[in-house]
Amino acid sequence: MTSRTFAFLSLLLLSPGVFAADAPAPFDWREATPAESGFSAERIESLRASLAAKGTRALLIIRHDRIVCEWYAAGTTADKPQGTASLAKSLVGGVSVAVAISDGKLHADDQVAKFVPEWAGDPRKAKITVAQLASHTSGLEDAEDNRIAHEKLTGWKGDFWRRDPSDPFTISRDRAPVVFEPGERASYSNPGMAMLAYTVTAAIQGGEQKDLRSLLRDRVLRPIGVKDAEWTIGYGKPARVGELNLYANWGGASFTPRATARVGRLMLRQGDWAGKRIIDAKAIEQCLDYRTSATTKEWVGAASPRPVLGWYTNVDKTWPAAPRDAFAGGGANHQILLVIPSLDLIVVRNGTSLGTDKAFWAGVEQEIVTPLMGAVTDPPYPPSDMIRRVRFDPESAIIRKAIGSDNWPMTWGDDDAIYTSYGDGRGFEPFVEKKLSMGLARVEGTPPDFRGVNLRSDSAERTGDGAKGPKASGMLMVEGVLYMWVRNTGNATLAWSADHGRTWEWGFRFEESFGCPTFLNFGRNYEGAPDKYVYIYSQDGPSAYGPRDAAVLARVAKERIREKEAYEFFVRRGEGGAAVWSAKIGERGPVFEAPGRTERLDAVYNRGLGRYLLAVGYGHGQGWGLFEAPHPWGPWATAFSTSDWGLGATHGYRLPAKWMSADGREGWLVFSGIKPNDAFCARRMVFELYPR
């Protein structure tokens, strides 16, 4: 057996003419080590070795568009198509129905009889919808029988698999019975998938492509760089039924591992390929987020993921170790495509059976999903079970003001304005006369219509570049008083203003840790806070410069913010998740841990979602993450995490409470960076939630 663990093989550029005229530029996988991709190299190798010993012929693990592990057994190569068995239900069935929905050729809730008139007169079959076929909830009986080999089956079931003298589609249409009320429960059905292929083919007859093979080839596979030699479907040929050429979508396909991975990537990116829209994002969403009232628990044995339109999803957390957005396709002998959007992760496995005595999906969970999740080291916390993804407006929509200034801690004032502080610049236009290390400003309005006004204060303004000049790290208004933490003063110092920032008094200084503290903000003038306390986060170190291993948390009664001795420090989560506090700063414990990647935080309570949001920089210009929790002290889950979000070196991620929508699903991120982002940069973000 040959081993090519962590081999990074470059694909050849596709020859001219493979792409449609308006296709995106060719895409190629890049290469990375496991550590560079947020994995434990030791655990990835352990997973590879374990799968190699259990009949695996091909294993491909890709994260952030980089091949982390590509391994083939002796006699198997990257360009050799692998039989997919029922993984075709996703690669062919799931993708083709998504294209048909995207093109408006059919809708998920359409009755199949609209496209198959032979069903119109059958009282049960007339009720069946496209979605019920695609999700195995149609009630159409399967062509399997107690694991009897296909060639030994008799009657219509045997005829279905022999595909001769009659075709499986006519058999599924006319002979396969409906054994329970459509939509009642999930029950695996190959004839149901055959009727999905029949339905989609009938629906696309008015278009340029008339069959599933040409639809997939022209609309999907060629545009995403899959060469014709890398795949086949339909057992190699169609069945002719009336005027339709029908290709099997339940089996009979072969794809190279990389071709399979490209389909996974297209689904992960919701139909976008290198900036070209291949399938409408809403169509992908309909397929993966389809909800049914049918009973689906353990519908094909233990650890069965929920069936959706051609795919299977972990939305019910059937696999506890994996995020809820994980979805998969699977076929006999454990042909697997696993996609986890929140981790930007794609896995392809081909081979013989994994050899487990467990049910199919329980074997996948045990041998692939759980050890794979155990190998992930980045992000530092598991993906959120509430926030499916965070979408940002395109770079072209970023609003940039106060060019040349950065930092921007902020709070929502009692007068409905946002109060903020800038660093190393001259503030908003019109600029102040000289560069300040720390200046103040007031922001009025809501994006896209807002303006900043510089506030002048002799008692607050400071000069000095970078670490040599004091800068604000956190701001909060409570009962009409502005509070401000000022870093670069030997840890950090507290200041406050009772006249909306015109004059300031200076108070105590932290002498241990809390070198870059920020306040947890709630609503206007601290409205909506659930208790009597004010909360303060900081990276656990005396300086704002350089990432630390963890963040720490303090609290103080809101009427005693100015009293150093009134502060308590988070120690740990105790029984039932309650916070344990100490009056001794030396007894503090980590409230958030990301070793070597915790620098400069911001925190806000998202009232609409009922969640605390924590923005954490991973190091100046080294990426950042957004985390959510039910309490200020956690437990944390990852809503968003990136090592490179495509804007160059950025920093100082702020979450203005005023700019959160009432339902909590939209907000604005304020950040800074190197040019052109050395400014007050506002970028809209949308929180996409899991169905509840």
pLDDT tens figures, 336-389: 999 999 999 999 999 999 988 889 999 999 999 999 999 998 889 999 999 999
DSSP three-state, residue 269:
coil
The CB density around residue 495, as the number of other CB atoms within 10 Å, is 20
Q: How confident is the model at residue 2 (pLDDT cuts 50, 70, 90)?
A: very low
At residue 561, what are phi and psi to the nearest 5 degrees?
Answer: -60, -30
Q: How high is the pLDDT of residue 11?
A: 34
The CA distance from 606 to 608, in Å, is 6
Stretch 474-497: mean pLDDT: 97
- Is the confidence at residue 161, as pLDDT, over 50? yes
Q: How high is the pLDDT of residue 23?
A: 53
Q: How high is the pLDDT of residue 385?
A: 94
Which tokens hold the place of 634? 């956690």
Check residues 471 and 147 and name the one with the higher pLDDT: 471
Stretch 504-524: mean pLDDT: 97
**pTM reported for the whole predicted model:** 0.83
- Is the confidence at residue 99, as pLDDT, over 50? yes
The CA distance from 520 to 474, in Å, is 9
Write down the mean pLDDT value for the chain.
94
Query: pLDDT tens, 42-55?
Result: 999 999 999 999 99
Query: pLDDT tens, 232-241?
Result: 999 999 999 9
- Is the confidence at residue 475, as pLDDT, over 80? yes
Which tokens hold the place of 162? 């022999």
Nearest to 313 by CA among 356, 284, 333: 284
Share of the chain above pLDDT 70, in %: 96
Interacting residues of 628 by C-beta distance below 8 A, sequence separation 6+ = 384, 386, 387, 606, 609, 611, 612, 613, 614, 636, 637, 639
- Is the confidence at residue 4, as pLDDT, over 80? no
- Is the confidence at residue 3, as pLDDT, over 50? no
Query: Among positive and negative, which fits the CA dihedral 554, 557, 558, 563?
Result: negative
Q: Helices 95-102 & 281-288, crossing angle to 10 degrees?
A: 130
The CA distance from 177 to 187, in Å, is 13
Q: How confident is the model at residue 146 (pLDDT cuts 50, 70, 90)?
A: confident
Stretch 74-99: mean pLDDT: 97
Stretch 527-552: mean pLDDT: 95
Q: How high is the pLDDT of residue 546?
A: 86
First to last CA, the chain: 48
Q: How high is the pLDDT of residue 312?
A: 97
The CA distance from 602 to 444, in Å, is 21
The least confident of 292-306, 393-407, 453-467 is: 292-306
Nearest to 409 by CA among 533, 530, 517: 517
DSSP state of 259: H
Q: How high is the pLDDT of residue 18?
A: 33
Stretch 11-40: mean pLDDT: 65
Stretch 446-466: mean pLDDT: 96
- Is the confidence at residue 6, as pLDDT, over 90? no
Q: How confident is the model at residue 654 (pLDDT cuts 50, 70, 90)?
A: very high
Report whether 329 contacts 312 (CB < 8 A): yes
CA quadruple 188, 194, 199, 200: dihedral, nearest 10: 100
Q: How high is the pLDDT of residue 24?
A: 55
- Is the confidence at residue 15, as pLDDT, over 60? no
Q: How confident is the model at residue 25 (pLDDT cuts 50, 70, 90)?
A: low
Query: pLDDT tens, 195-225?
Result: 999 999 999 999 999 999 999 999 999 999 9
- Is the confidence at residue 166, as pLDDT, over 90? no
The least confident of 19-33, 309-323, 395-409, 587-601 is: 19-33
